[in-house]
């Protein structure tokens, strides 16, 4: 079974600064997807960024980028120019591409605080 | 607007009663999912359905039941057999595997409190 580990329960960053959230995962599969989801106080889950395992290029979405190290099974999220609206719980998630469909396995989350 | 609706936002029940949480989507997605979230924890999969009239157990299915009679609807029943039902429940949907970018989209959630 796949497992996802987020070793930082809480992180904080100053507004306009850069922060990196860590995520590691364990799998024996070669084909899979990785995601970062954001959950603000409203508790609505919002997709931040996705990474296909077969792609070597790291995904980027505006101020959000990932550092995907497949051999190390590491998938960190970098938030540049942090804004107050970035404050939220961030979840790393793994999705296998097996016949059981697109099941997601989530890490336990990192609570990000953005200080003005 | 296309999306996923869950109702109600807050739900209160007495211990020993079954309760059904609603999830409806108008995204024309084939697959639907139910997750449970406890304070300070990630989401855990309860049940999922890839197609109408078919569903599979997730990681924590005990004490829960589902049905998938319509593509748009995937209600979750929390039975009296669930030992600790108080939690936040999230419903999600996605297109089928093989579709480009078939990530899961989430509803706003239902907070269930059982006393």
> Rounded to a whole number, what is the distance in Å from the CA of A83 to chain B's nearest CA?
23
Q: Determine the straight-line distance between the first and last CA of chain A, rounded to whole angstroms.
A: 41
A9: tokens are 């329960």
A1: tokens are 């079974």
Closest chain B CA to residue A5: B42
Interface probe, candidates A104, A110, A111, chain B, greatest B C-beta count within 10 A: A104
Distance, CA of A101 to CA of B102 (rounded, Å): 11
What pLDDT sits at residue A29? 86
The rounded mean pLDDT for chain B is 91
Is the distance from CB of B65 to CB of B79 less than 8 angstroms?
Answer: yes
> Rounded to a whole number, what is the distance in Å from the CA of B27 to chain A's nearest CA?
16
Confidence of residue B1 (pLDDT cuts 50, 70, 90): low
What pLDDT sits at residue A75? 97
Residues of chain A with pLDDT under 70: 97-102
Is the model's pLDDT at B100 over the cut of 60?
A: no
- Each residue's pLDDT tens digit, B46-77: 999 988 999 999 999 999 999 999 999 999 99
Nearest to B50 among A101, A108, A109 (CB): A101
What pLDDT sits at residue A100? 57
Of chain B, the percentage scoring pLDDT greater than 70 comes to 92
Angstrom CA distances, A78 to A54, B3, B43, stand at 20, 29, 22
- Each residue's pLDDT tens digit, B11-23: 999 999 999 999 9
What pLDDT sits at residue A30? 84
């Amino acid at each position: 079974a796949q497992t996802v580990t987020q070793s930082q329960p809480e992180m904080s960053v100053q507004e306009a600064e850069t922060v990196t959230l860590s995520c590691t995962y364990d799998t024996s599969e070669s084909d899979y997807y990785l995601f970062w989801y954001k959950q603000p106080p409203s508790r609505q889950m919002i997709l931040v960024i996705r990474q296909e395992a077969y792609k070597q290029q790291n995904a980027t979405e505006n101020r959000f980028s990932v550092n995907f190290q497949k051999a190390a099974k590491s998938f960190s999220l970098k938030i540049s120019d942090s804004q107050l609206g970035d404050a939220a719980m961030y979840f790393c998630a793994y999705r296998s591409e097996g016949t059981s469909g697109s099941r997601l396995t989530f890490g336990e989350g990192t609570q990000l605080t953005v200080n003005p | 607007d296309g999306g996923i609706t869950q109702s109600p936002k807050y739900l209160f029940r007495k211990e020993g009663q079954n309760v059904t949480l609603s999830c409806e989507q108008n995204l024309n997605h084939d697959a639907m999912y139910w997750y449970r979230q406890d304070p300070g924890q990630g989401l855990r999969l309860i049940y999922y359905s890839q197609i109408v009239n078919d569903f599979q157990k997730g990681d924590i299915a005990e004490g829960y039941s589902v049905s998938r009679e319509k593509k748009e609807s995937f209600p979750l029943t929390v039975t009296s057999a669930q030992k600790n039902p108080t939690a936040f429940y999230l419903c999600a949907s996605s297109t089928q595997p093989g579709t480009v970018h078939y990530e899961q989209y989430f509803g706003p959630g239902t907070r269930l409190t059982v006393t």
